Amino acid sequence: MDSSDDTEVTTDTEQVGSIKETIITVVYAGLIALGIRSFAYEPFSIPSGSMIPTLLVGDYLFVSKLSYGYSSFSLPLGLPLIPDRILFTEPERGDVAVFRLPTNTDKDYIKRLVGLPGDKIQVVKGILHINGKAVKREKVDDYLIDNGFGSVRRVTRYLETLPNGRKHFINEEQGDDGPSDNTPIYSVPEGHYFAMGDNRDNSSDSRFMDRVGYIPRKNLIGRAEVKFFSVDGAGWKFWQWPSSARFERFFDGIE
What's the chain's length in residues? 255
Give the three-class secondary structure for 98. strand
How far apart, in whole angstroms, are the C-alpha atoms of residue 121 and residue 175?
Answer: 20
Q: Which of 111, 203, 206, 230 is an active site residue?
A: 111
Q: How many CB atoms lie within 10 A of CB 46?
A: 20
CA trace torsion 81, 104, 234, 237 (10° rounding): 30
Active site (annotated) includes residue 50: yes
How far apart, in whole angstroms, are the C-alpha atoms of residue 112 and residue 254?
Answer: 11
Q: Confirm if 188 and 181 have CB atoms less than 8 A apart.
A: no
Active site (annotated) includes residue 243: no
How far from the centroid of its chain's Cα atoms is residue 50's Cα? 11
How far apart, in whole angstroms, are the C-alpha atoms of residue 202 and residue 195?
Answer: 14
Those residues with Cβ within 8 angstroms of residue 208's Cβ, 6 or more apart along the chain or in another chain: 180
Beta strand residue intervals within 65-130, DSSP E: 96-100, 108-115, 120-124, 127-130
Q: Which of 50, 74, 203, 230 is an active site residue?
A: 50
Query: Active-site residues: which are they?
Result: 50, 111
